[in-house]
Amino acid sequence: MRERREALGFAQEKVGVAIGLDESSARARISRYELGVHEPPFATVKLLATVLDVPPPYMYCEEQDIADLLLALHKIPSQTRRQKVDVLMAHIADV
């Protein structure tokens, strides 16, 4: 989550306020989520994913390469995503 937030140039407070947290506690709460001190409920994960423009599963990735793959898939228009996933899966099966 931190990598994506920083890539977008968003401050912790901005993200927190965008998901409806009080401005006075937004930075600390987002920091706790990023550090793994607290795990947000799924409803909050969905809000965070929307603000960060990522699919919700991205928020649970522990490996950056998998997170990057999810983000790349998320950016593909839904009309062509299935076709591209099928091509990728066929390529992976050949490895």
**Structural domains for the chain:** 2-94 (1.10.260.40)
Contact between 14 and 31 under an 8 Å Cβ cutoff? The reply is no
**Each residue of 63-82: pLDDT tens digit?**
999 999 999 999 999 999 99
94: confidence class by pLDDT, cuts 50, 70, 90: confident
Cα(16)–Cα(51) distance, integer angstroms: 9
Cα(7)–Cα(2) distance, integer angstroms: 8
